[in-house]
Amino acid sequence: MNEPQLAIAILTARVLAGILFFFQGYDKVFKIGIPQVSATMKATLSGKNMSPGLVGFVAYFSSYAELICGFLLILGFFKLYASYILCFNILMVSAGFSMAKPMWDSSHVLIRVALLLFILIAPSAWDVLSVDHLFSISGLSKP
């Protein structure tokens, strides 16, 4: 594969993952509202011995992590840190879904996991169409 194809492949994966996470977080924060997301999660996990405080924290963390880190992925800014946070978020949310309903539909999660794993294992030299790359060639990211 040549360089432009690699750059387009990682750009597509990163931006697609960013869009999926950003709009999921956007809906939770601005359309549904985090209190309603938290209430829904608490109702779904009632009787599962989950602390309401922990469920509330996960609702807030998940919503803002998806919104902020999704936006960062779209830009390609702090891409690795955003990916790490989103991986942690997916693990938390998947654990919650699995506790609520062991046979839940994971189709929405699997595409996000695949995209994140590709972003994390692809060499950073491929991601030349990002803000991170721009800063690295300008010398701004180096001490």
pLDDT tens sequence across 1-48: 578 999 999 999 999 999 999 999 999 999 999 999 999 999 988 888
CA 32, distance to chain mean position in Å, is: 18
Domains of the chain, residue spans: 3-138
Burial zone of 74 (CB within 10 Å; 0-12 exposed, 13-18 middle, 19+ buried): buried
Classify 132 as helix, strand or coil. helix
pLDDT higher than 60, residue 53: yes
- Nearest CA among 5, 63, 75, 53 for reference residue 31: 63
pLDDT higher than 80, residue 140: no
CA distance 40 to 57: 13
pLDDT tens sequence across 66-118: 999 999 999 999 999 999 999 999 999 999 889 888 888 888 899 999 999 99
